Amino acid sequence: MDLKPLRHFLSLAETLHFGRASAACHVSPSTLSRSIQHLENNLGVYLFERDNRSVSLTTEGIRFERYARETLIQWSAIRNELIAESKELKGEISVYCSVTASYSFLYDILKRFRQRYPSIEIKLHTGDPDSAIDLISSGKEDIAISARPDSLSSEIQFHSIGLSPLVFIGPASGEIPPPGTVEEWSKTPMILSEKGIGRQRVDHWFSTKGIKPKIYAQVAGNEAIVSMVSLGFGVGVVPQIVLDNSPLSDKVKILNITPWLAAYDVGLCVLDKKLKSPLIRAFWELL
């Protein structure tokens, strides 16, 4: 079966940009455009609204996106089941995590998995850990490393692999003194995550103390927070494992701020229905 048109469609649905989507699919923009047009001709509807400036999904396109994701999941599952019955497991799995998690948590897991299933290819994607749960929920990634949110969908399986304290950090130079009073906190520039579990816990911490923080920057990725704090731009909050693995760890210091923030419960997560795939189940059972 030729599933490339579905993959082309999903890539464009995710990026809403022909150039980025064609690069991700390793085809030319004209090839991608023909593939989308062929789908639309077969369906008899337009999947995208497009002009010289923008691309967006139509109502029909939004419905078709759900179908395309489900089809690829089901195709992968039945293909892998048939392969499992006849010979050695082979195929590919996509894994998503932050750069820090890739060498602090994932290394040993992938090493053992590779030894046991050498014919299964791992496609490792790195990025903002706060996007991990959304990528799993949407089916865009098979497995991801994430901090466990306070509320987790029943459709997602979570396997804890470690705890990491969430700590306040400041520049090692001491140019920004550790704040103590509400007034000092209100004047201290803060560098925080744009979203995610860490941001939610920091916002709650400030709220309980009646502090309106002075936010200097909101960034994606904890590594960027360490970098900006090391340069003296402000005080930040990061999981300690990020700090322990950062090349800039000697340029920042952990601040003794109480009460402590709740630690991250770091683990692997997977969409429950994806465990029907023998490949993904083999990875999961290895844990």
Residue 88 has a pLDDT of 72
Nearest C-alpha neighbor of 92 from the set 143, 129, 25: 143
d(C-alpha 273, C-alpha 208), whole Å? 39
Pair (257, 167) in one structural domain: yes
In a domain, 152, yes or no: no
In a domain, 5, yes or no: yes
Residue 51 has a pLDDT of 82
Task: Identify the CATH number of the domain in which residue 10 sits.
Answer: 1.10.10.10
Task: Quote the number of domains for the chain.
Answer: 2
Residue 83 has a pLDDT of 66
d(C-alpha 123, C-alpha 134), whole Å? 18
In a domain, 60, yes or no: yes
Residue 87 has a pLDDT of 62
Pair (83, 167) in one structural domain: no
Residue 266 has a pLDDT of 92
In a domain, 37, yes or no: yes
* Boundary (domain end) residue, out of 87, 107, 122: 87
3-class secondary structure, 214: strand
Q: State the residue for tokens 């791992």.
A: 122
Residue 85 has a pLDDT of 64
Residue 84 has a pLDDT of 65
In a domain, 233, yes or no: yes
pTM: 0.67
d(C-alpha 47, C-alpha 59), whole Å? 8
Residue 265 has a pLDDT of 92
Residue 167 has a pLDDT of 94
* Boundary (domain end) residue, out of 37, 71, 87: 87
Task: Identify the CATH number of the domain in which residue 215 sits.
Answer: 3.40.190.10
**Regions of the chain where pLDDT drops below 70:** 83-87
In a domain, 92, yes or no: no
* Boundary (domain end) residue, out of 43, 71, 87: 87
Domain that holds residue 214: 163-262
In a domain, 236, yes or no: yes
In a domain, 228, yes or no: yes
Q: What is the full DSSP assignment across 77-131?
A: HHHHHHHHHHSS--EEEEEEE-HHHHHHTHHHHHHHHHHH-TTEEEEEEE--GGG
